C-alpha cells in the first residue's frame, strides 16, 4: 500500500484498492446518509496523500469533490487545484528537499513560484511558470516527471496554496546568487551554499 493511505473516508464512500484510493458510492445507502458521508470526508487529506503518491486521478477527483463540498456548505476555504499542489510540492522537493532545511526555506521556494504566477512579468499558471524556457525545468525533464514530492513539502505547499505568505509579492527570483532588484532574504547551508530570494527589477508593477 502506498505512503500513509489509511481509512480516511467514511465507510461506503471510498474503497481502497491496490494502493490507490478508488472513488465509489454505496448504492444501498439512503441519499441522506450518503450525503452526510460525502460532507464528512476530508478531501484535503486525500489530495495531499494523492500528491505524495503521484496519484493524479484520485487527487483530481478529490479536488472536484472538495469544491462541490465548499459550494454546498458555503465554506470559506480556498479552492485548490490538485495539479498546482502536485507541481508546487515537486518544485519544493526538487529545490529544497533536503530534510535538514527549515520550513521557512522550503516555503520561500514555493512562494517565489506562486509570486510568479500572480506577477504580470511571468505566465499565469504554475505549470507554465515551471516550464517557462530557462527557468525551473523543461517539459522533457525525465527527472522532474518521475519526481514524487515528500510529505513535508506537500503539506507546506498546501499551506501556501491556502494563502499563507512570508515573502513580499515582488520577490520573484530564487538562485544561488543575488539578482534582480535586491535581496529580500538569503539562506546559507554548508552543503548547498547560499540561496537568495530576490525582488523584481520592476517594483512599480507590484505597487511598491
Asked if residue 1 has pLDDT above 90, the reply is no
pTM of this prediction? 0.85
What's the rounded Cα separation, in Å, for the pair 23 and 61? 8
DSSP string, 49-95: HHHHHT-HHHHHHHHHHHHHHHHHHT--PPP--HHHHHHHHHHHHHH
Burial class (CB in 10 A: 0-12, 13-18, 19+), 75: exposed
Where is pLDDT greater, at 64 or 10?
64
Contacts of 163 (CB under 8 A, 6+ apart): 78
Asked if residue 169 has pLDDT above 70, the reply is yes
Q: Does the residue 114 lie in any domain?
A: yes
Q: Does the residue 2 lie in any domain?
A: no
Asked if residue 6 has pLDDT above 60, the reply is no
> What integer pLDDT is reported at residue 34 of this predicted model?
61
Number of domains in the chain: 2
Do 124 and 197 reside in the same domain of the chain? yes
Report the helix count and the strand count for the chain, using DSSP H and E.
8, 5
Do 192 and 154 reside in the same domain of the chain? yes
Q: Does the residue 198 lie in any domain?
A: yes
What's the rounded Cα separation, in Å, for the pair 70 and 183? 39
Average pLDDT over residues 86-114: 98
Asked if residue 14 has pLDDT above 80, the reply is no
Q: Does the residue 165 lie in any domain?
A: yes
Do 151 and 179 reside in the same domain of the chain? yes
Residue-number span of the structural domain to which 47 is assigned: 14-73
Asked if residue 117 has pLDDT above 80, the reply is yes
Q: Which of 73, 94, 123 is the last residue of a domain?
A: 73
Q: Which of 31, 51, 73 is the last residue of a domain?
A: 73
Q: Does the residue 122 lie in any domain?
A: yes
Do 92 and 35 reside in the same domain of the chain? no
Where is pLDDT greater, at 164 or 29?
164
> What integer pLDDT is reported at residue 40 of this predicted model?
84
Do 178 and 144 reside in the same domain of the chain? yes
For residue 119, the domain's CATH number is 1.10.10.2520
Average pLDDT over residues 62-72: 94
Q: Does the residue 4 lie in any domain?
A: no
What's the rounded Cα separation, in Å, for the pair 177 and 175? 5
Do 141 and 182 reside in the same domain of the chain? yes
Do 63 and 126 reside in the same domain of the chain? no
- Confidence category of residue 22, pLDDT binned at 50, 70, 90: very low
Do 37 and 116 reside in the same domain of the chain? no
Average pLDDT over residues 170-193: 97
- Which cell numbers in the block locate residue 197? 530570494
Radius of gyration of the chain (CA): 19
Q: Does the residue 1 lie in any domain?
A: no
Q: Does the residue 78 lie in any domain?
A: no
Are 200 and 206 a contacting pair, CB within 8 Å? yes
Asked if residue 25 has pLDDT above 50, the reply is no
Amino acid at each position: 500500500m502506498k505512503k500513509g493511505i489509511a481509512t480516511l473516508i467514511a465507510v461506503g464512500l471510498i474503497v481502497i484498492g491496490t494502493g490507490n484510493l478508488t472513488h465509489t458510492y454505496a448504492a444501498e445507502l439512503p441519499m441522506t446518509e450518503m450525503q452526510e458521508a460525502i460532507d464528512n470526508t476530508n478531501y484535503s487529506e486525500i489530495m495531499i496523500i494523492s500528491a505524495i503518491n503521484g496519484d493524479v486521478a484520485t487527487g483530481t477527483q478529490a479536488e472536484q469533490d472538495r469544491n462541490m463540498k465548499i459550494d454546498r456548505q458555503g465554506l470559506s476555504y480556498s479552492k485548490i487545484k490538485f495539479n498546482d499542489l502536485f507541481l508546487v510540492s515537486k518544485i519544493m522537493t526538487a529545490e529544497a528537499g533536503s530534510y535538514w532545511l527549515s520550513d521557512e526555506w522550503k516555503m520561500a521556494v514555493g512562494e517565489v513560484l506562486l509570486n510568479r504566477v500572480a506577477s504580470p512579468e511571468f505566465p499565469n499558471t504554475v505549470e507554465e511558470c515551471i516550464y517557462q524556457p530557462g527557468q525551473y525545468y523543461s517539459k522533457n525533464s525525465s527527472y522532474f516527471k518521475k519526481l514524487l514530492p515528500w510529505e513535508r513539502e506537500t503539506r507546506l505547499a498546501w499551506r501556501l496554496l491556502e494563502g499563507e505568505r512570508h515573502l513580499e509579492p515582488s520577490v520573484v527570483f530564487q538562485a544561488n546568487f543575488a539578482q534582480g532588484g535586491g535581496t529580500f532574504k538569503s539562506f546559507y547551508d554548508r552543503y548547498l551554499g547560499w540561496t537568495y530570494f530576490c525582488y523584481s527589477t520592476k517594483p512599480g508593477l507590484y505597487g511598491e
